Amino acid sequence: MSAPIRALVGLGNPGPKYADQRHNVGFWLVDGLARAAGEPFREQRRFKSELAQIEFGGEPLWLLKPGTFMNRSGDAVQPFAAFYKLAPSELLVVHDDLDLPPGTIRLKRGGGHGGHNGLRDITRAIGPDFARLRIGIGHPGDKSRVLGYVLAAPTREEAGELADGLARAVAGLELMMREGWDKATQYLHTRGDT
């Protein structure tokens, strides 16, 4: 899985009702990258998505926001990847992670879905060999509270931690594009996150 990353897929639920929810941090990251590059997202009905292309870290990079709900993310990712002839290993899926403290960032190649419905559906559609950028949102402590927790806005303190984490994620992604996966992983995984 040494192919360069050619597309970032930010996961979230579409529409203003969901925009500020923890589950949408994948959208937050790709929205920030598009905004910084001055490139708007455009609706792509054939992919059930919004799509932008930017130059990032000296390389062209697709940004994809599925217009499906989280649990049907594969319905957007599969036709996009097929149309542009992208191998799963060329995709980096950006998603929220309950198992990491708020703002903690981790890169991962392949693996399971860990109970995340977006990852589960992408795996169904294209297999498990895509990379992941995990953005910690913390855990409510009680499994019965998880749904309400991910579908709620972060607290003020968490919002600050997430903003710091997203800034680190962008720096790590730029390092990945310029110097490779290992350098980015070393940077992101040794920044004092626990």
Rounded mean pLDDT of 35-63?
A: 95
Residue 14 lies in a domain: yes
Query: Does a structural domain hold residue 2?
Result: no
Summarised one tens digit per residue, pLDDT across range 131-186 is 999 999 999 999 899 999 999 999 999 999 999 999 999 999 999 999 999 999 99
What pTM, to 2 d.p., does this model score? 0.94
Domains held by the chain: number: 1
**pLDDT of 193 above 60:** no
Q: What is the pLDDT of residues 50-84, one digit of tens each?
A: 999 999 988 899 999 999 999 999 999 999 999 99
Tell me the chain's radius of gyration from C-alpha atoms.
Answer: 15
Residues 6+ apart with CB under 8 A from 5: 61, 90, 91, 92, 131, 176, 177
Residue 158 counted as domain residue: yes
**Length of the chain in residues, anyone?**
194
Does residue 10 contact residue 27 with C-beta atoms inside 8 Å? yes
Six-digit token pair at 118?
């977006």
Q: Which domain holds residue 80?
A: 7-189
Q: Residue 70 sits in a domain of what CATH number?
A: 3.40.50.1470
What is the chain's mean pLDDT, rounded? 93
pLDDT band at 113 (very low <50, low <70, confident <90, very high): confident
pLDDT for 58 = 85
In the chain the beta strands, taken as DSSP E runs, fall at 7-10, 42-44, 49-56, 59-66, 91-97, 105-109, 131-136
* Residue 37 counted as domain residue: yes
Instruction: Say which of 23, 113, 116, 139 is annotated catalytic.
Output: 23
pLDDT score at 186: 94
| C-alpha–C-alpha distance, residues 116 and 51, integer Å | 23
Residue 194 has pLDDT above 60, yes or no: no
Q: Is position 117 within any domain?
A: yes
Contact assessment for residue 58 and residue 50, using Cβ atoms and an 8 Å cutoff:
no
Our answer to whether residue 95 is catalytic in this structure is no
Is 1 domain-assigned? no
% residues pLDDT > 70 (the chain):
96
Q: Is residue 72 part of a domain?
A: yes
- Is 97 part of any domain? yes
